[in-house]
């Protein structure tokens, strides 16, 4: 019986582990990895990192990338208070109508989603040499191990190696699939001044913004893991019960 439960739980554990350790590497490019607190079996988001990552998004990435699936009020999940969320929302403005039907700009409210930096895709491309900065809300969910890709991309800007001719307006990035990317290096040391006093090295900001974007892509990850664990426990107990019943029945039949 014990052996049976052991092998069953080992199988369950193995299937979860192989899933979460899937490594993203494309065109033979091996990405840099970091310790992601949330990717483990019982992992939860590092709230402090995610809060710093929000600051990086707002002060750097938001100039070009939208986050259109994320409402300000959900930031409370990251440990912000209701008043802090109100203050963050109020720093953006949104077009609205007044009582006479005139178009006005009003301050953001917690129910608003993060504003789009550009009026439309054409405007976004026009400011980015024809390339489109994709929405970042669900980016990290695009493929398993995307955290490592995003982190690598952020720290992967290098001098262009000899013999490579970059097209106009492109930057060399060791981890981008074609190595030529239309996004100029977004991070440089001290690009933000962290409100919690953490030193804002490129690596630190890259890690923090990755944790934040992992959260925007899957804010309910922790509940899902919790539920998964309950289901596994339930199945283990059920399997144990079946085994006991089977033994009892067969004992009587022998
Ligand atoms: C000056 C504008 C600008 C800023 C600021 C900027 N980006 Fe980008 N980003 C772009 C453009 C343009 C692209 C499309 C690049 C391409 O297709 O070559 C892009 C692409 C990306 C991609 C997709 C890469 C891929 O594999 O296709 C990610 C992820 C990304 N940016 C993340 C970020 C993050 C995180 C920040 C903030 C730290 C940021 N960007 C800041 C302009 C910007």
Q: Which atom of ligand 1 is nearest to the CA of 128?
A: 12
Contact present, 219 and 232 (Cβ < 8 Å): no
Exposure class string for 191-219: b at 16+ Cβ within 10 A, else e: ebebeeebebebbbbbbbbbbbbbbbbeb
Q: How many C-alpha atoms does 50 have within 13 Å on its Cβ side?
A: 23
Mean pLDDT for back-to-back runs of 10 residues, the chain (254 residues) = 61 50 64 92 93 98 97 97 98 94 96 96 96 95 86 97 93 95 97 96 98 95 90 95 93 78
> What is the Cα 230 distance to its own chain's centre?
25
Contact present, 151 and 165 (Cβ < 8 Å): no
Question: Which pLDDT score, from 0 to 100, does residue 79 have?
Answer: 95
Among 66, 128, 133, residue to substitute to test ligand 1 (most atoms within 8 Å of Cβ): 133
Ligand 1 shell residues, CB under 6 Å: 56, 60-61, 63-65, 128, 131, 133-134, 136, 139, 150, 181-184, 186-187, 209
Q: Whose CA is nearest to atom 3 of ligand 1?
A: 64
Q: How many C-alpha atoms does 27 have within 13 Å on its Cβ side?
A: 7
Question: Which pLDDT score, from 0 to 100, does residue 20 have?
Answer: 42
Model confidence pLDDT, tens digit, residues 158-212: 999 999 999 999 999 999 999 999 999 999 999 999 999 999 999 999 999 999 9
- Structure-block tokens of residue 105: 């700009």
Ligand 1 midpoint to CA 170 (Å): 12
């Amino acid at each position: 019986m014990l052996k049976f439960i052991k092998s069953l739980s080992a199988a369950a554990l193995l299937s979860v582990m192989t899933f979460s350790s899937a490594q993203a590497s494309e065109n033979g490019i091996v990405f840099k990895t970091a310790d992601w607190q949330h990717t483990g079996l019982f992992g939860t988001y590092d709230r402090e990192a995610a809060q710093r990552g929000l600051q990086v998004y707002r002060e750097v990435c938001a100039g070009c990338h939208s986050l259109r699936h994320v409402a300000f009020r959900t930031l409370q999940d990251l440990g912000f208070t209701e008043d802090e969320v109100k203050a963050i929302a109020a720093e953006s403005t949104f077009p609205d109508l007044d009582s006479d039907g005139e178009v006005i700009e009003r301050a953001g409210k917690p129910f608003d989603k993060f504003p789009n930096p550009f009026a439309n895709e054409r405007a976004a491309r026009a400011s980015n040499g024809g390339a489109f900065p994709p929405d970042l809300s669900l980016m990290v969910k695009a493929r398993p191990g995307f955290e490592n890709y995003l982190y690598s991309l952020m720290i992967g800007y290098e001098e262009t190696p000899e013999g490579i001719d970059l097209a106009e307006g492109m930057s060399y990035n060791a981890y981008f699939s074609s190595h030529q990317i239309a996004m100029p290096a977004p991070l440089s040391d001290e690009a933000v001044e962290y409100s919690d006093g953490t030193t804002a090295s490129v690596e630190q900001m890259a890690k923090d913004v990755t944790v934040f974007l992992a959260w925007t892509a899957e804010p309910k990850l922790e509940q899902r893991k919790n539920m998964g664990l309950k289901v596994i426990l339930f199945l283990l107990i059920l399997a144990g019960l079946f085994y006991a019943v089977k033994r009892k029945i067969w004992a009587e039949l022998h």
